[in-house]
């Protein structure tokens, strides 16, 4: 059990907690970014541990995906704002049960 | 590999079609190309397995699942044609996104490296986040989109953590290497568990299924059709492929997890579906429960379980496409596809009622439809694997499922005409496709041997 | 080949009927069923008792799973095929009386059902058996749903779910059997030759018993039945009780007795006991029913209870009785349901309290009614007696006390049948029914064959029993050979 | 001769078929003649057989097999006839008396609209009854046994517009069926034990049983079960209540079925199975007790009845009790002998009563009759002959048959003799009470009836006369030794393997004494009755309120019907309602429905987890992950 | 020395991460997220992933965060958004389940023996642009190319969702 692993797990859990806890969609996005970053760091750590640079390459892909994803996410967010004038997830409960 | 490239090119071409003035011709071009690619793909079934760039495996499994995926896309194109006639949606964008999503699906059934897995999942999902929200004027569509997005990203995070932990344990992303390096250490099994959980999300196993009814319910129905069939096939193909590549035998901790998930999924999925009044949501929940059945074979990893999964998926996809198409038609006629709105369908639109009945019978797993054989084969494999109690749970689930499927059938056949909007539905050439698909459902049910032979080869 | 023809012919006919349109549909359908009956008769006359399985066809179907299209007829199958093909024209003819809408669909469904029923009776492959079994369920479901009375929806629903529950359990048992066969095959011989431990047998028996028991139905699995019989259209009830419940009994003979003999030895008493309880229970309930159709539904449960008890008697007499009684019950119950059809047609009601004195207007009808009624309470010289007597012989050999309790049926049978007959037919003429007409030609043409069969089979039962005896012996042979010798 | 045996039942069957199938085309007046002709044909053949039987040609005759009926496993049943002295005797009674009653009916029923139906039923009855006595195995007997039950049902409910009659018919059928169940179980046990149901084989095998335990249990159970059948058919306690009600049918039917033939089927059956019964003394005791009880109980009820047919009905029940009394004492031939004489005099009584009723325009209440002897002389004379016969006045038939029974009784136990005599006295009392009330004194009916009183036509009176003759002379076939006879009839039956009673130990003087005592008592009772009903002109109470307690008890048949209603019918109805409304709806079906409902309920509940809230979804997902991870740790 | 830096950095990382989640005002969240990213970049540097560290800064802090800010400004969301009607129970549930996740992960992985990172053993070029480029364009060329499909769809999506329908206006 190493410190980096613990750090990353805490960071990841914090991100997850953010998703569970916050109602503000924007902050939820940020929480997700936090989770991804925790994974990034973990990858880098393992990459160094194994002396294998493919881990770092993988981080590239994660970053690329994260960027692409967040673009879409923000586009959706804008749409929501246009509809509701707010970005609170609580107001989005039309679909249930 | 070639199919992936060809479809990517097709997607790009579609995207560009508006600029280069081919908008009118793009639809036939897509159809023809897909048919060509499908044919090409099927022809490569007997080729010797090979690995492209150390990233993509070309073997019977990938070809079979790939062909199934391309077929679903093709059927989707055939059925969704008229959804774009109203001009509400930009067909070029949609088609391109669907094609890109197809690429993602194809990646998922042939990856040999975690990076392709990851990218495949994302390429599959991102277009769908967009498509789910494509009915921009409808808040429900947008809501579906954001829910799908947030939960999907969350699952991606979990998947990535899983991959990272596996990487930590083995030092590689390559499946073959992981298989060799696989060990009992906790990094590895937490990693593989988390990875499995992210797949459980994609295949909508309980308790990771919450996005399914909301997203399926909110998204435009023809997109739901794609999501509920294509994504499910791709995710199952990928999950099985993953386990099959990493393990020769599923370790006990994982197999217990899978069995538990499967039982829970069957029960909760069916129970939740039983009270739905909106057929679209009902089908969403039923999709959840179907996932439960398929999960039953995962702990076995035998040739039989693989082929049974394939047969089941094939039958499920066709039947589900039909069912959702009918739901779509009802929505067009009467705004909302509640069970009441199905009332008297047998009188006003006997053909629609008939194909719907067939599809539901197939989903419920009653002979002679494809779904029955799929379920039968699945159960056979599970009992062979020794999990007879799981089959009993599945039987209980099936019974509940019959309850809600037949609720719809009963409405169609016995309720009086819901008079105000007794419109006859205009099909266009979708009717021919529906006929073909119905025949397919029955044929798979009665003569499953061809499919079985394929299944045994993969 | 004939067997295949028997299965295919109704299917083709169903298609033709559907295409023929409403006007021609009845003619085509009835012609087809008569033709089918002719084919069955031909098979009967060319049947070679010594050969065991006649007209066998064995075609690979799903070789990867050891499934084949394996059909053929032994005596038992032949008898039930005869019953099915004999009853179908009668049922279809009788439905001409009732004001069914969309007859083309109705006849198509009935024909599909016939095909499936024959398939059930001739299947030599367990998987094939199951397919036909389920296939038979769907048409009747739609028949009940489309042409039933105002309660049809919940009732049919319950019926369907209930029977499907049994089917699914059976499916599990079937698959289990398949996985333990050394050859990985569903074929009859392989299933018979598989050795199961006592525990395995118990579970397989439980599943199959539930499946078949629900279909028959055996007490306490019967609650779907009275309401379904009541709310289904009469032709549907005829199909259900005349033929369909025989599927369950046949299933036990063919797929339970030889497969799980040890379980039968251990648990057969329970099944027999439940059956006998069912006889008395249903008979007692029948006494006070106010709707004649419901009454007949309970009567049917009582009769089936007796048959079911005979199933577990493990004697030639008992099993022969089961077969005889299946045939008799099929004919008689269709007869009595046709009587109901006529009553409904003339008076518009089946509430016993609203009927009365009809004998004054319909003397001929009364004669047929009495004959069918007497057959159904097993008066000697009618077909009902043969079955009942043989059954009693079998049950008595199994357990005299059980037979004594089961015997209450002959008393209670008289009570409910005669009381209801009295209330419906006898007494002063009611003015409401002054203009009711006696039997028409077409009604007579249905009732006369039924009555002829009642007496012919009552006096010459060995026309059929000789056919089935070797098959029954064969089955009992399998049963007794596979029971391990008690130490 | 034997090759024509099948014609005996076939002719009445043919008659039945002709009459029922072509009833539209046959003139009403012709139907009676057709039916009678058929029966006459049978009767002639039977007569022929009877002569062969008397000349001893039918001893050890093998069964006549018509065709093989049922074959399954070890069970081999054929439709075959046992032609021996016993069955021929019964056939003679059936066809002979039956023919007379047919002829009588032609006139009696001539203006009824259902006359064709009536005769077809009557022919069917004769057919079934012949089957019953001719069959060479128990199943054929059972076939006839049930067949006569059916005919009885049809004929009692002949006037179907009256629901009371229909109730009576139904009651008869159901009570008979209770007996039939016993019979059936008896057969099953026989088959179970001996593997066959043919009389000869059964008796052969039974007589080979040596183990006394087996004899005492198995045979006793078999015989008791068969006797239950006899109880139903022959109206013994506790299944006798249907017979008085059965008087709802036309009077000739009462004469034929409910007096002369069908009700004696039980005696026939026991006589036929005497080999078994003789092996089971215990059963014989039971039979004796029930027979005696029935004889006395029915006679007691008969004392106060006011319906002419009801009186005769109770008298029949009582006489049947006598017959069983005889059998219970081991006197099979005495029983059959009493069957014979009873057939004649009781048929005569019924037909006479029919004639009276005919004359009275349907009136059956003896309180409204009286003084008919002048208007109906033939009826009166034949009626008085029959009454004297039933009372046992020598040299009429009843004297011999009753004396044979009483002698047996005394031999067994003087108390038994006393009981027998007591029953006989009761019989004498109510019979003469009826006779006096009907034919003596003043006419008590309406003026209208009085004007229409007339003797019946010849077709009705001729059968009366023939039966009267038979009543007078038939006793002489069994003249006991003590009176210088040779017990011819017992020997005749012995040829059909009917066990002879043990030779009498009684001295001649004792026998004379017994006869004398009985006769003296009877004669004194006749005078007492004369004194009561003719000299004192006592009238039966016209309403219940005037009766004494004992009268009321007797008049209301000791409330047995009410008792049955309370103990059996009501509880059965209650049980039916209870089962269908409580057990079925609230237990069995509820379990089914509740399981369905609970699924719906859980569906409804589970649905609410789908709250639409993304955070909640994510929370569930995380909880799922946590649970799975921890489970991994455990597993 | 390395340890101290590590712990300090970790502290900052976690604190700022907490602030991201707990801050009421999204702008503050973004700013603290930027700090978190920077800390992570520093961590990467510590692990000798030099090139990646730079990319991380550029992509996350530079591109993604700017995008966030841009959206906030565009939608004028910079004042604190109330947390809505959130029940205490759901807060608690979120807290407990989030905490349990951490506990579960740590608990399961605590037994894992992981050797310390020995930077000295690493290739001097480890993590350099050159080395990564080699791997990316050889071993990972296919995923790299495939990523373009991802971007294309993201692009189409952003355009499709972002643009206002002409008909609306």
Residue-wise pLDDT for C129-139, tens only, equals 999 999 898 89
Are D450 and D331 found together in one domain?
A: yes
Are D496 and D618 found together in one domain?
A: no
Q: Is residue C182 part of a domain?
A: no
State the best of A3, A41, A55 to mutate against chain E, taking most chain E CBs within 10 Å.
Answer: A41
D354-364 pLDDT, tens digit each: 888 888 887 88
pLDDT tier for residue A89 given thresholds of 50, 70 and 90: confident
Percent helix, strand and coil across chain C, each rounded to 5?
80, 5, 15
Q: What's the mean pLDDT when you consider all of chain D? A: 86
Phi-psi map region of C52: left, alpha, beta (phi>0 left; psi -120 to 50 alpha): left
Enumerate the residues of chain E whose CB falls inside 8 A of the CB of residue B58. none
If contacts are CB pairs under 8 Å, which of residues 81-110 in chain E contact chain A?
81, 83-86, 91, 93-95, 97-99, 101-102, 105-106, 109-110
- Determine whether the interchain pair D633/E105 forms a contact, defined as Cβ–Cβ distance below 8 Å: no
Range with the largest mean pLDDT of C395-404, D556-565, D585-594: C395-404
- Contact criterion met (CB below 8 Å) for D255 and D350: yes
Q: Of D615, D623, D632, which is closest to E90 when you measure between CB atoms?
A: D615
Calculate ∠ Cα C246-C252-C255, nearest 5°: 120
Are D252 and D303 found together in one domain?
A: no
CA E107 to chain centre: 24
Q: How many domains does chain D have?
A: 3
Q: Can you give the pLDDT at residue B419? A: 52
Q: Can you give the pLDDT at residue B420? A: 46
Mapping DSSP onto H, E and C, the string for B3-34 reads HHHHHHHHHHHHHHHCCCCCCCCHHHHHHHHH
pLDDT tier for residue C487 given thresholds of 50, 70 and 90: very low
Report which of residues B113 and D563 the model is more confident about: B113
Phi-psi map region of C46: left, alpha, beta (phi>0 left; psi -120 to 50 alpha): alpha
- Contact criterion met (CB below 8 Å) for D199 and D191: no
Q: What is the percent of chain B with per-residue pLDDT over 70, rounded to a whole number?
A: 97
Chains C and A touch (3+ CB pairs under 8 A): no
D495 SS3 class: coil
Tell me how crowded residue D412 is: count the other CB atoms within 10 A of its CB: 15
pLDDT tier for residue B316 given thresholds of 50, 70 and 90: very high
Q: Which of B263, B328, B326 is nearest to B299 (CA)?
A: B263
- Determine whether the interchain pair B103/E146 forms a contact, defined as Cβ–Cβ distance below 8 Å: yes
C91-140 pLDDT, tens digit each: 998 888 877 788 888 899 999 999 999 999 999 999 999 999 998 988 99
Taking 60 as the threshold, does the pLDDT of residue B22 lie above it?
yes
Q: Can you give the pLDDT at residue C393? A: 92
Q: Which of B56, B164, B36 is nearest to B106 (CA)?
A: B56
D580-600 pLDDT, tens digit each: 888 888 888 888 888 888 888
How close E11 gets to chain A, by Cα (Å)?
9
Question: Is the C-alpha dihedral spanning B351, B355, B358, B363 positive or negative?
Answer: negative
pLDDT tier for residue D235 given thresholds of 50, 70 and 90: confident
Instruction: Nearest chain A residue to B219 by CA: give it.
Output: A95
Q: Which of C235, C243, C232 is nearest to C26 (CA)?
A: C235
pLDDT tier for residue B230 given thresholds of 50, 70 and 90: very high
Q: Can you give the pLDDT at residue B426? A: 67
pLDDT tier for residue E123 given thresholds of 50, 70 and 90: confident
User: Span B317-344, mean pLDDT?
Assistant: 87
Mapping DSSP onto H, E and C, the string for D243-283 reads HHHHHHCCHHHHHHHHHHCHHHHHHHHHHHCHHHHHCCHHH
Report which of residues D628 and D589 the model is more confident about: D628
- Determine whether the interchain pair D612/A16 forms a contact, defined as Cβ–Cβ distance below 8 Å: no
User: Span B243-255, mean pLDDT?
Assistant: 89
User: Span B429-433, mean pLDDT?
Assistant: 84
Taking 50 as the threshold, does the pLDDT of residue C486 lie above it?
no
In whole angstroms, what is the distance from residue C144 CA to residue C147 CA?
Answer: 6
B399-421 pLDDT, tens digit each: 889 888 988 888 888 766 555 44
User: Span C315-338, mean pLDDT?
Assistant: 92
Rounded to two decimals, the ipTM of the complex is: 0.90
**Minimum mean pLDDT among B6-20, C362-376, C398-412, E80-94: which range?**
E80-94
Taking 80 as the threshold, does the pLDDT of residue D473 lie above it?
yes
User: Span E14-26, mean pLDDT?
Assistant: 89
User: Span D205-234, mean pLDDT?
Assistant: 83
Q: Does B68 touch chain D (CB under 8 A)?
A: no
D379-401 pLDDT, tens digit each: 888 888 888 888 888 788 888 88
The CA R_g of chain C, rounded to the nearest whole Å, is: 21
Q: How many domains does chain C have?
A: 1
Q: How many residues comprise chain D?
A: 635
Q: Can you give the pLDDT at residue E86? A: 64
C-alpha torsion angle, residues C230, C213, B372, C227 (rounded to 10): 10
State the best of B54, B141, B149 to mutate against chain E, taking most chain E CBs within 10 Å.
Answer: B54
B32-68 pLDDT, tens digit each: 999 999 999 988 888 888 888 888 888 889 999 999 9
User: Span A85-89, mean pLDDT?
Assistant: 83
Residue C58 phi, psi (nearest 5): -135, 105
Q: Is residue D199 part of a domain?
A: no
Kindly report the pTM of this predicted structure.
0.91
Q: Can you give the pLDDT at residue B159? A: 95
Q: Can you give the pLDDT at residue D239? A: 86
Chains in contact with B, counting 3 or more C-beta pairs less than 8 Å apart as contact: A, C, D, E
Q: Does C134 touch chain B (CB under 8 A)?
A: yes
- Contact criterion met (CB below 8 Å) for D479 and D486: yes
Q: Which of C61, C16, C51, C21 is nearest to C36 (CA)?
A: C16
State the best of B139, B263, B266, B271 to mutate against chain D, taking most chain D CBs within 10 Å.
Answer: B271
User: Span B350-375, mean pLDDT?
Assistant: 90
Enumerate the residues of chain E whose CB falls inside 8 A of the CB of residue D625. 101, 104
Are D535 and D568 found together in one domain?
A: no
In whole angstroms, what is the distance from residue D332 CA to residue D326 CA?
Answer: 7
pLDDT tier for residue B72 given thresholds of 50, 70 and 90: very high
Taking 50 as the threshold, does the pLDDT of residue D259 lie above it?
yes
- Determine whether the interchain pair C426/D584 forms a contact, defined as Cβ–Cβ distance below 8 Å: no
State the best of D597, D601, D606 to mutate against chain B, taking most chain B CBs within 10 Å.
Answer: D606
Burial group, residue C56, by CB count within 10 angstroms (0-12, 13-18, 19+)? middle
pLDDT tier for residue C251 given thresholds of 50, 70 and 90: very high
pLDDT tier for residue E169 given thresholds of 50, 70 and 90: very low
Enumerate the residues of chain A whose CB falls inside 8 A of the CB of residue D626. none
Report which of residues B154 and D518 the model is more confident about: B154
Instruction: Nearest chain D residue to C472 by CA: give it.
Output: D73
Domains and CATH numbers, chain E: 2-91+121-168 (1.20.120.1200)
pLDDT tier for residue C438 given thresholds of 50, 70 and 90: confident
- Its domain, for residue C296, covers 279-487
Q: Of B52, B113, B123, which is closest to E149 when you measure between CB atoms?
A: B123
Q: Can you give the pLDDT at residue D378? A: 85
Q: Does E10 touch chain B (CB under 8 A)?
A: no
Q: Can you give the pLDDT at residue B124? A: 94
Chains in contact with C, counting 3 or more C-beta pairs less than 8 Å apart as contact: B, D
Q: Which of C434, C468, C147 is nearest to C320 (CA)?
A: C468
CA distances D544 to D305, D365, D426, D549, D553, Å, are 12, 15, 22, 10, 10
Taking 70 as the threshold, does the pLDDT of residue D57 lie above it?
yes
Domain limits of chain A? 3-88
- Determine whether the interchain pair C380/D147 forms a contact, defined as Cβ–Cβ distance below 8 Å: yes
Instruction: Nearest chain B residue to C145 by CA: give it.
Output: B414
Q: Can you give the pLDDT at residue E46? A: 87
Taking 80 as the threshold, does the pLDDT of residue D203 lie above it?
yes
Tokens 């039309």 belong to residue: A94
Enumerate the residues of chain C whose CB falls inside 8 A of the CB of residue B399. 161, 164-165, 168
In whole angstroms, what is the distance from residue D384 CA to residue D537 CA?
Answer: 19
Are D344 and D487 found together in one domain?
A: yes
Are D461 and D604 found together in one domain?
A: no
Report which of residues B383 and D451 the model is more confident about: B383
How close B419 gets to chain C, by Cα (Å)?
18
State the best of C277, C299, C318, C389 to mutate against chain D, taking most chain D CBs within 10 Å.
Answer: C389
Residues contacting residue B226 through CB under 8 Å, at least 6 positions apart: B72, B73, B76, B80, B98, B101, B128, B131
User: Span E101-107, mean pLDDT?
Assistant: 89
pLDDT tier for residue B223 given thresholds of 50, 70 and 90: very high
- Determine whether the interchain pair E140/B107 forms a contact, defined as Cβ–Cβ distance below 8 Å: no
Tokens of B123: 């390429």
Could you say which of 1.10.260.40, 1.10.287.3510, 3.50.50.60, 1.10.760.10 is the CATH number of the domain covering A3-88? 1.10.287.3510
Enumerate the residues of chain E whose CB falls inside 8 A of the CB of residue A41. 40, 43-44
DSSP C387: H
Instruction: Nearest chain D residue to E90 by CA: give it.
Output: D616
In whole angstroms, what is the distance from residue E166 CA to residue C76 CA?
Answer: 75
If contacts are CB pairs under 8 Å, which of residues 79-108 in chain E contact chain D?
90, 93-94, 97-98, 100-101, 104-105, 107-108
Q: Is residue D230 part of a domain?
A: no
Q: What is the DSSP string of B321-337?
A: HHHHHHHHHHHHHHSS-
How close D160 gets to chain C, by Cα (Å)?
6
A41-69 pLDDT, tens digit each: 999 999 988 888 899 999 999 999 999 99
- Determine whether the interchain pair A16/E98 forms a contact, defined as Cβ–Cβ distance below 8 Å: yes
Q: Can you give the pLDDT at residue A62? A: 93
User: Span C140-163, mean pLDDT?
Assistant: 87
Q: What's the mean pLDDT when you consider all of chain B? A: 89
Taking 70 as the threshold, does the pLDDT of residue C36 lie above it?
yes
Q: Does A89 touch chain D (CB under 8 A)?
A: yes
- Its domain, for residue D144, covers 1-185+236-260
If contacts are CB pairs under 8 Å, which of residues 18-47 in chain A contact chain D?
19-23, 28
D154-189 pLDDT, tens digit each: 998 888 888 888 989 998 999 899 999 999 999 999
In whole angstroms, what is the distance from residue D59 CA to residue B64 CA?
Answer: 90
DSSP H helices, C194-260, are: 198-215, 224-231, 234-237, 245-251
How close D603 gets to chain A, by Cα (Å)?
10
Q: Can you give the pLDDT at residue E151? A: 92
D115-162 pLDDT, tens digit each: 888 899 999 999 999 999 998 889 999 999 999 999 999 998 888 888
Q: Is residue D198 part of a domain?
A: no
- Determine whether the interchain pair E101/D616 forms a contact, defined as Cβ–Cβ distance below 8 Å: no
């Amino acid at each position: 059990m190493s410190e980096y692993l613990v750090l990353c797990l805490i960071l990841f859990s914090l991100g997850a907690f953010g998703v569970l806890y916050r109602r503000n969609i924007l902050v939820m996005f940020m929480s997700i970014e936090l989770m991804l970053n925790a994974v990034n760091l973990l990858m880098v750590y393992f990459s160094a541990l194994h002396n294998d640079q493919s881990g770092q390459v993988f981080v590239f892909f994660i970053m690329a995906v994260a960027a692409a994803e967040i673009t879409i996410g923000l586009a959706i967010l804008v749409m929501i704002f246009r509809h509701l004038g707010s970005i609170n997830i609580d107001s989005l409960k039309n679909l249930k049960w | 590999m070639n199919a992936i490239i060809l479809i990517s090119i097709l997607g790009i071409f579609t995207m560009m079609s508006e600029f280069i003035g081919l908008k009118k011709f793009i639809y036939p071009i897509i159809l023809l190309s897909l048919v060509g690619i499908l044919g090409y793909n099927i022809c490569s079934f007997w080729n010797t397995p090979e690995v492209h760039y150390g990233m993509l495996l070309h073997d019977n499994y990938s070809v079979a699942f790939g062909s199934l995926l391309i077929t679903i896309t093709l059927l989707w194109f055939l059925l969704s044609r008229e959804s774009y006639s109203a001009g509400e949606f930009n067909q070029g964008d949609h088609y391109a996104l669907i094609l890109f999503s197809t690429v993602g699906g194809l990646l998922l059934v042939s990856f040999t490296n975690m990076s392709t897995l990851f990218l495949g999942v994302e390429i599959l999902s991102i277009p769908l986040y967009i498509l789910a929200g494509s009915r921009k004027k409808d808040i429900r569509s947008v809501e579906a989109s954001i829910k799908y997005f947030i939960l999907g990203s969350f699952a991606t995070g979990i998947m990535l953590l899983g991959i990272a932990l596996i990487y930590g344990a083995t030092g590689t992303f390559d499946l073959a290497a992981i298989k060799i390096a696989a060990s009992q250490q906790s990094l590895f099994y937490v990693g593989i568990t988390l990875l499995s959980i992210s797949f459980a999300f994609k295949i909508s196993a309980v308790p990771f299924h919450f996005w399914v009814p909301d997203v399926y319910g909110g998204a435009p129905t023809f997109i739901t059709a794609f999501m509920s069939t294509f994504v499910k096939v791709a995710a199952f193909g990928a999950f099985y492929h993953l386990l099959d590549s990493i393990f020769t035998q599923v370790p006990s901790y994982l197999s217990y997890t899978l069995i538990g998930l499967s039982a829970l999924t069957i029960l909760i999925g069916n129970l939740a579906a039983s009270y739905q009044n909106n057929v679209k949501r009902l089908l969403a929940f039923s999709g959840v429960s179907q996932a439960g059945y398929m999960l039953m074979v995962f702990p076995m990893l035998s040739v039989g379980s693989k082929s049974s999964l394939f047969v089941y998926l094939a039958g499920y996809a066709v039947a589900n496409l039909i069912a959702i198409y009918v739901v779509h038609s009802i929505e067009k006629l009467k705004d909302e596809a509640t069970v009441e709105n199905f009332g008297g369908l047998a009188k006003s639109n006997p053909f629609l009622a008939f194909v719907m009945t067939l599809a539901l019978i197939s989903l419920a797993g009653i002979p002679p439809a494809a779904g029955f054989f799929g379920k039968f084969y699945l159960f056979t494999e599970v009992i062979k694997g020794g999990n007879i109690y799981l089959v009993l749970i599945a039987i209980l689930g099936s019974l509940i499922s019959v309850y809600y499927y037949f609720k719809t059938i009963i409405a169609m056949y016995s309720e009086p005409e819901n008079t105000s909007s007794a419109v006859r539905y205009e099909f266009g050439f979708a009717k021919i496709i529906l006929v073909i698909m119905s025949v397919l459902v029955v044929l798979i049910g009665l003569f499953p041997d061809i499919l079985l032979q394929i299944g045994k080869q993969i | 080949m004939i067997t295949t023809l028997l299965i295919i012919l109704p299917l083709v006919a169903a298609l033709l009927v559907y295409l023929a349109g409403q006007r021609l549909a009845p003619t085509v359908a009835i012609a087809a069923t008569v033709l089918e009956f002719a084919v069955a008769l031909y098979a009967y006359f060319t049947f070679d008792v010594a050969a065991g399985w006649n007209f066998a066809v064995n075609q690979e179907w799903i070789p990867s799973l050891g499934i084949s299209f394996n059909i053929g007829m032994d005596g038992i199958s032949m008898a039930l095929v005869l019953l099915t093909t004999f009853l179908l024209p009668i049922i279809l003819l009788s439905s001409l009386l009732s004001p069914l809408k969309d007859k083309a669909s109705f006849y198509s469904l009935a024909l599909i059902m016939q095909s499936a029923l024959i398939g059930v009776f001739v299947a030599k492959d367990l998987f094939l058996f199951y397919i036909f079994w389920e296939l038979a369920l769907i048409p009747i479901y739609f028949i009940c749903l489309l042409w039933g009375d105002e309660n049809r929806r919940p009732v049919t629903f319950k019926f369907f779910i209930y029977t499907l529950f049994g089917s699914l359990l059976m499916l599990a048992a079937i698959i289990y059997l398949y996985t333990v066969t050394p050859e990985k095959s569903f074929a009859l011989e392989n299933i018979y030759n598989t050795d199961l431990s006592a525990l395995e047998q118990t579970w397989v028996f439980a599943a199959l018993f539930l499946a078949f028991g629900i279909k028959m139905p055996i007490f306490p699995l019967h609650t779907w039945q009275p309401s379904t019989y009541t709310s289904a259209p009469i032709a549907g009830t005829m199909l259900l009780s005349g033929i369909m419940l025989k599927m369950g009994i046949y299933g036990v003979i063919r797929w339970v007795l030889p497969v799980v003999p040890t379980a039968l030895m251990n648990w057969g008493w329970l099944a027999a006991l439940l059956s006998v309880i069912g006889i008395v229970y249903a008979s007692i309930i029948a006494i006070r029913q106010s709707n004649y159709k419901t009454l007949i539904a309970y009567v049917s449960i009582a009769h089936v209870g007796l048959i079911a008890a005979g199933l577990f008697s493990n004697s030639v007499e008992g099993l022969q009785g089961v077969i005889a009684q299946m045939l008799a019950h099929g004919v008689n119950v269709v007869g009595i349901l046709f009587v109901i059809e006529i009553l409904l047609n003339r008076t518009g009601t089946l509430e016993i309290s609203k009927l009365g004195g009809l004998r004054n207007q319909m003397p001929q009808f009364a004669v047929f009614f009495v004959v069918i009624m007497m057959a159904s309470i097993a008066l000697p010289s009618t077909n009902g007696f043969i079955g009942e007597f043989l059954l009693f012989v079998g049950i008595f050999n199994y357990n005299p006390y059980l037979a004594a309790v089961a015997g209450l049926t002959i008393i209670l049978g008289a009570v409910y049948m005669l009381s209801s007959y009295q209330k419906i037919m006898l007494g002063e003429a009611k003015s409401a029914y002054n203009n009711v007409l006696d039997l028409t030609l077409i009604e007579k043409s249905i009732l006369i064959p039924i009555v002829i069969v009642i007496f012919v089979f009552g006096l010459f039962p060995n026309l059929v029993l000789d056919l089935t005896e070797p098959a029954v012996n064969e089955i009992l042979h399998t049963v007794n050979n596979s029971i391990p010798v008690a130490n | 001769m034997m090759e024509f045996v099948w014609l005996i039942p076939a002719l009445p069957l043919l008659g039945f078929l002709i009459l029922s199938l072509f009833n539209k085309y046959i003139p009403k007046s012709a139907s009676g003649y057709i039916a009678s002709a058929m029966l006459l044909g049978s009767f002639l053949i039977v007569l022929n057989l009877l002569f062969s039987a008397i000349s001893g040609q039918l001893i050890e005759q093998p069964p006549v097999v018509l065709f093989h009926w049922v074959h399954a496993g070890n069970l081999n049943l054929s439709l075959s006839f046992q032609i021996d002295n016993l069955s021929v005797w019964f056939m003679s009674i059936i066809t002979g008396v039956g023919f007379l009653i047919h002829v009588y009916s032609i006139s009696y029923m001539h203006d009824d609209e259902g006359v064709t139906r009536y005769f077809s039923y009557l022919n069917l009855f004769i057919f079934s009854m012949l089957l019953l006595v001719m069959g060479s195995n128990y199943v054929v007997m059972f076939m006839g046994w049930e067949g006569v039950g059916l005919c009885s049902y049809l004929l009692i409910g002949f006037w179907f517009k009256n629901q009371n009659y229909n109730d009576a018919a139904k009651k008869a059928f159901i009570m008979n069926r209770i007996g039939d169940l016993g019979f059936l179980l008896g057969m099953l046990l026989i088959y179970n034990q001996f593997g066959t149901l043919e009389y000869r084989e059964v008796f052969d095998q039974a007589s080979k049983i040596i183990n006394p335990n087996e004899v005492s249990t198995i045979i006793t159970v078999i015989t008791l079960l068969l006797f239950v059948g006899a109880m139903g058919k022959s109206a013994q306690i506790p299944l006798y209540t249907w017979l008085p009600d059965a008087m709802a049918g036309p009077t000739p039917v009462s004469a034929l079925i409910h007096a002369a033939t069908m009700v004696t089927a039980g005696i026939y059956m026991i006589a036929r199975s005497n080999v078994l019964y003789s092996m089971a003394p215990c059963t014989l005791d039971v039979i004796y007790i029930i027979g005696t009880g029935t004889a006395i109980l029915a006679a007691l009820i008969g004392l106060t009845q006011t319906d002419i047919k009801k009186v005769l009905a109770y008298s029949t029940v009582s006489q049947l009790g006598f017959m069983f009394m005889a059998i219970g004492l081991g006197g099979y031939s005495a029983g059959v002998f009493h069957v014979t004489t009873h057939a004649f005099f009781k048929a005569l009584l019924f037909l006479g009563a029919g004639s009276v009723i005919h004359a009275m325009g349907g009136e059956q209440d003896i309180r409204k009759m009286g003084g008919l002897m002048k208007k109906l002389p033939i009826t009166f004379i034949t009626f008085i002959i029959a009454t004297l016969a039933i009372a046992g006045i020598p040299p009429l038939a009843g004297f011999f048959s009753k004396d044979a029974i009483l002698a047996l009784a005394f031999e067994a136990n003087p108390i038994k003799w006393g009981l027998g005599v007591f029953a006989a006295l009761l019989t004498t009392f109510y019979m003469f009470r009826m006779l006096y009330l009907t034919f003596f004194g003043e006419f008590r009916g309406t003026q209208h009836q009085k004007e229409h009183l007339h003797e019946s036509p010849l077709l009705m009176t001729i059968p009366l006369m023939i039966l009267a003759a038979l009543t007078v002379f038939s006793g002489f076939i069994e003249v006991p030794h003590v009176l210088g006879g040779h017990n011819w009839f017992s020997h005749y039956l012995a040829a059909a393997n009917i066990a002879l009673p043990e030779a009498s130990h009684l001295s001649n003087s004792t026998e004379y004494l017994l006869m004398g005592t009985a006769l003296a008592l009877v004669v004194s009772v006749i005078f007492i009755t004369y004194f009561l009903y003719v000299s004192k002109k006592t009238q039966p109470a016209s309403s219940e309120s005037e009766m004494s307690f004992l009268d009321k008890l007797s008049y209301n048949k000791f409330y047995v019907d009410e008792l049955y209603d309370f103990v059996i019918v009501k509880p059965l109805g209650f049980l039916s309602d209870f089962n269908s409304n409580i057990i079925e709806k609230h237990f069995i079906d509820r379990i089914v429905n509740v399981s369905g409902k609970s699924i719906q309920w859980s569906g409804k509940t589970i649905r609410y987890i789908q709250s639409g809230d993304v955070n909640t979804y994510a929370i569930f997902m995380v909880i799922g992950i946590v649970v799975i991870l921890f489970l991994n740790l455990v597993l | 020395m390395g340890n101290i830096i590590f712990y300090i950095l970790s502290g900052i990382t976690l604190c700022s991460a907490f602030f991201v989640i707990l801050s009421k005002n999204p702008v503050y969240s973004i700013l603290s997220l930027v700090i978190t990213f920077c800390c992570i970049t520093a961590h990467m540097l510590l692990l000798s992933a030099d090139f990646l560290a730079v990319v991380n800064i550029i992509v996350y802090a530079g591109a993604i965060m700017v995008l966030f800010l841009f959206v906030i400004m565009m939608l004028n969301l910079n004042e604190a958004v109330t947390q809505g009607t959130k029940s205490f129970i759901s807060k608690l549930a979120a807290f407990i389940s989030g905490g349990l996740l951490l506990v579960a992960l740590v608990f399961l992985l605590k037994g894992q023996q992981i050797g310390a990172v020995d930077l000295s053993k690493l290739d001097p070029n480890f993590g350099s642009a050159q080395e990564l480029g080699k791997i990316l364009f050889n071993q990972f060329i296919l995923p790299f190319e495939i990523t373009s499909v991802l971007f294309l769809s993201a692009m189409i999506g952003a355009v499709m969702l972002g643009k206002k329908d002409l008909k609306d206006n």
